[in-house]
Amino acid sequence: MQHVLALSTLYPNPVNPRFGTFVARSMEALAKRGDWRVTLINPIGLPPLALGRYRPLADLPELSEEGGITIHRPHFTLIPRIGARRNAAAIARAVLPVVRRIHAATPIDLIDAQFFFPDGPAAAEIARTLGLPLSIKARGSDITFWGEQGFARQQMLDAARAATGLLAVSQDLAGQMAAMGMDAAKITVHYTGLDRDRFRPFGHTQLRDQLSRELGFALPATAPLLACVGALIERKGQAIAIAALRAVPDARLILIGKGEDEAQLRALAVSEGVAERVHFAGSIDHDLMPLILSAADVMVLPTVAEGLANAWVEALACGTPVVTCDVGGARELINCDTAGRLVERTPQAVAAGINAILSNPPPREAVAALTDGFSWDENAAALAAHYERLVGAA
């Protein structure tokens, strides 16, 4: 059994159980195969005084077993809002002693970074110090956002040059990485996985009644239901989805996620005159997500940038077509009217896309069939093959 040490700054924990669940599912599926031992480092950034929302993070155990994986959570010093330039170096300093101990006890064959920034540059320093092959994965905003920040861009390019191989969650993102100056020959596309037992069409007639009780929000059987999944931040486009409601008569909109824009979005719903038709669900139990997506007529995400959004895949798997923007890997999924519509990032265009689907809804089973190639087993198999190639090339 070979041994991969994966570094991921975004990973579920008891304080933030929804952070990076897709990373956890991928690593757990890899560990279940039996050919790779998986050790995960989830660095926890804390300011010099860990008060307020940082206090529960400081109290997390530094070692735990979760989903068949050993998780280490060393602390690094974080300077909120202004410290991004130094985060990768701070992570490497904090993590390296832990990795040395792990390597001495159970030799590591490969270092893996689950995000390109700040994980990638930190992992590059660790791999260089230990003389190990390195894989770095790009997921979306680590390229589209951090790639626009000069200091981060340079750190990522240096890490890419040091890496043995690179992963991208979509063909489009692979192209963006190459355009930044990364070696295209190193890049492999690695699509997300999917829990096929959980994300599938649920069609029983009492589903909306059940959700109405669970959410405390009226979901009339005959009213169009829209779901929007994503952090409540400007680039995800919830404001556009709310404004679009005015042109989608009687529709209800469920916003799933938390974020800094919640108060602003609530005020917008009031000013648009649609407050009674918008429900802020916050972070929800993962078992509730497929029920909401199955009950919805359309999943709406007027996002400004993505790699390949897990929310797109999960909605389609539940038989729900998607209205989103032509960004990232959207065309790799939303490539026919059965899958949904790609629209401009305006309320008028979003409303038109929604209404087009509502007037001629595709069969749910046909929508779900579009994700037949997605599973965590497939994701793990592709990841294992990628790792094998890198270790063999080192």
Give the start-to-end residue ranges of the domains of the chain. 2-193+375-393, 207-369
The pLDDT of residue 139: 94
The pLDDT of residue 81: 77
Beta bridge partners of 192: none
The pLDDT of residue 390: 98
Please list the ranges in the chain whose pLDDT falls under 70: none
The pLDDT of residue 267: 98
Q: How many CB atoms lie within 10 A of CB 53?
A: 9
Return the structure tokens found at 136.
């770095």
pTM comes to 0.90
Distance of CA 353 to the CA centre of its chain: 24
CA distances from 365 to 32, 75, 195, 201, 371 (A): 29, 46, 17, 7, 11
The pLDDT of residue 44: 96
Q: Indicate if 207-369 has the same CATH topology as 2-193+375-393.
A: yes
> What CATH number labels 207-369?
3.40.50.2000
Q: CA–CA separation, 322 vs 237, rounded Å? A: 14
In CATH terms, the fold of domain 2-193+375-393 is Rossmann fold (3.40.50)
The pLDDT of residue 204: 73
Strand 2-7 vs strand 110-113: parallel, antiparallel, or unpaired?
Answer: parallel
Q: CA–CA separation, 203 vs 258, rounded Å? A: 27
The torsion angle over the Cα atoms of residues 39, 383, 200 and 369, rounded to 10 degrees, is: 180
